[in-house]
Structure 1
Amino acid sequence: MEPLSRPALLLLLLLRSAPLAAAVEPISMGIAVGVATALTGLLSTFPTLYCKFQECCEAQWVQLNLTGLKTDLENKLFGQHIATQVVLKAIKGFLTNPTPKKPLTLSLHGWTGTGKNLLSKIIAENIYRNGLESDYVHQFVSTLHFPHPEHLSHYKEQLQKWIRGNVTLCGRSMFIFDEMDKMQAGLIDAIKPYLDYYDNIDGVVYRKAIFLFLSNAGGERITESTLDFWHKGRKREDILLKDLESKVSIGVFNNKKSGFWHTSLIDKNLVDYFVPFLPLEYKHVKLCVREELKARGYEEDEHIITEIADEMTYFPESEKIYSDKGCKTVATKVDFYL
């Protein structure tokens, strides 16, 4: 049995307390009628009152801040012009459409430290007032939530119940699947019906939900293409989504080590965009360090910024263009220097 939501639980307590009060102290019929009327009025307005103080699935808690999303993407997500453009348009189009045909499904691909988790955080913070801490944002980490191959059938059933229950509570729920490259093949197919073009499934409408898949798979192909642009003397900003998207989708579909291996999500075209995250250059690492200092309330120190960026390791060996960890270890290095 699914646990009661907080509003439902409080309503239940109110209902149970009324007859108890009457039993403790006998009251006249007139007062009883008055109490019943007052209680009915309280219950009718309770959801509105509750939403003023506690998170609920209403506009004051769940609503797109388009200006904030645009600003955060431009000022915090460094070196990812494709991701910035695609996500801004996709989120805006989806959340301003009152009757979407299916849930929004984005698959983010690239090496570690390039900004996939940061992008998820930015999206959450500009839709949900409580950001990643919202009751309507749900994160799954493959190695944590689905670690044992022998429990695959159980995981499928559990995942379906989890998504069905949460979308029932709030149609505008967001689900983040991290480490898709480590997920057991076939598991993600369990949620295929929820991503498809259905008006509802057993009375539950999934069309307003958002699904994000994060994966390192495809990073090698993305890096190869980015490096090829560099060797040809072309700017990384000239790289378009169409230059990489098909390479990434085909690559993860045919990769036996990917959670997307031969998945029906790709086969049935249920992933709206495969978003490539390009490898980060030295200048992007410096921007990450500067942003980390700013977030901690420190003044920009060009000497520290340069020292930390110089400490990072870069590849290929001959050119040393791209950071092999992206900005993954920047926060730790800032700790050391401060």
Structure 2
Amino acid sequence: MNPFVRIMRLVMMLNWFMFLYCTWFMFVHFLERGPSPITTTTDDFKGCKPHAVDFRKSFGRIIWRLNTKIHGQPLAILPAIRLIKKNFRFLSTGSPIVIELYGPSGTGKSYVCELLAESMFYDGLKSEFVNVLDGEDLHLQEEQLSLYTDELRDYLRGNLTKCKKSLFIFKHTEKIPEELFHPIQDIMLSKMGGIFLFTTTESSPIVSEIYAHLLTQGTEKRQMNFKHYERALRKPLFNIGERLLFLPMTVNELKMCAVDELAKMGDTFLTDCITESIYKRIPVDTVGYTNMTCKEIIQVTRYVVIHNNCDIQQ
């Protein structure tokens, strides 16, 4: 065979080998790198500085805290993490992030809002870029609604003009007049950005009823899904966003809440005497259902510690 032809074939084989090697190297590198990082720019936090945190640095932190500090809420935390991974990189486009949080009081809704605020801003809920409106604090007369509606629209627009990553938390939305949701929707449609969180306990009795019924049927909490609770959830406030459902807590999950609180107070309080005294105060029925919340067990924990109450009798 002609030596020239042999050389050409060898060169072609080497080129093909190099192509395969480069392809394999890039594929392995992609797998190791994982999904694309959250992309933020200086402009994303323009106006928010110096009190804002670059979300690229806090992204992993909030995922870790949601997974470790919120106990027993797979129908809330998993969708929340998925939403954060998917949408936070798009804040610079002006599309708002809208999350509605449903469930009984004391199951973690407000805590999720707090974690998000702390992960985005150094001052957390106290940041000037975090805005909280509580429906329980609104005592508006009919004639005041029109004026307050205009004021709310201007307030939202002003904050988003200053910082497109402004966080708005609307608590007890079942007590907020329907008219006030119109300016909120107008601002969302104007593509000014912003993160909007809406918490409500409106459907709590039905959620608790369904939850207890599923337990009596032998359905474990980890087997439950949104379809079980469809009749408990009202129509979304808006046609965009994600709905998170917080369920009543199990005894073991309440114990984890208590341990978290004891850890905050110091390791010296993590004794068998103290923990047993706390656990004995968790009411449980025959199927293992308890209507106690994480917020309530934290109060019990503080009481036991403050009074050094190690009497484990009921």
Unaligned runs of 5+ in 1: 1-47, 200-205, 254-259
Say whether the 8 Å CA contact 2:215–2:287 is kept in structure 1: no
Q: Which of 129, 142, 145 pairs up with 2:135?
A: 142
Does the alignment pair 1:94 with 2:87?
Answer: yes
Say whether the 8 Å CA contact 1:176–1:211 is kept in structure 2: yes
Does the alignment pair 1:308 with 2:278?
Answer: yes
Alpha-carbon shift at residue 62 of structure 1 (Å): 4.0
Unaligned runs of 5+ in 2: 1-41, 306-314
Q: Which amino acid in structure 2 is aligned with residue 220 of structure 1?
A: P
| 1:270-309 superposed matches below 5 A | 270=240, 272-299=241-268, 300-309=270-279
Alpha-carbon shift at residue 277 of structure 1 (Å): 0.3
Task: Specify the alignment match of 1:130 in structure 2.
Answer: 123
Task: Specify the alignment match of 1:211 in structure 2.
Answer: 196
Say whether the 8 Å CA contact 1:248–1:274 is kept in structure 2: no
Task: Specify the alignment match of 2:301 in structure 1.
Answer: 334
Task: Report the secondary structure of 1:78's partner residue.
Answer: coil
**Same amino acid, percent of matched pairs:** 23
TM-score normalized by structure 2? Answer: 0.74
Higher helix share: 2
Query: In the TM superposition, what whole-angstrom CA distance separates every residue of 1:48-94 from its partner, at most 9, and x where no partner exists?
Result: 9xx9xxx9347962425222112111211011111110111111211
Q: Partners of 2:50 and 2:85 in 1: how far apart?
A: 18
Q: Partners of 2:99 and 2:49 in 1: how far apart?
A: 22
Q: Partners of 2:127 and 2:52 in 1: how far apart?
A: 13
Q: Partners of 2:112 and 2:201 in 1: how far apart?
A: 14
Cα 1:98/1:191, change in 2 over 3 Å: closer
Task: Report the secondary structure of 2:178's partner residue.
Answer: coil
Task: Report the secondary structure of 1:330's partner residue.
Answer: helix
Q: Which amino acid in structure 1 is aligned with residue 231 of structure 2?
A: K
Q: Which amino acid in structure 1 is aligned with residue 176 of structure 2?
A: M
Q: Which of 56, 71, 79 pairs up with 1:78?
A: 71
Say whether the 8 Å CA contact 2:282–2:290 is kept in structure 1: no
Alpha-carbon shift at residue 321 of structure 1 (Å): 0.7
Alpha-carbon shift at residue 157 of structure 1 (Å): 1.8
Say whether the 8 Å CA contact 1:222–1:276 is kept in structure 2: no
Task: Specify the alignment match of 1:3 in structure 2.
Answer: none
Query: In the TM superposition, what whole-angstrom CA distance separates every residue of 1:172-221 from its partner, at most 9, and x where no partner exists?
Result: 1110011112222332223111223x44xxxxxx2x31000011011123
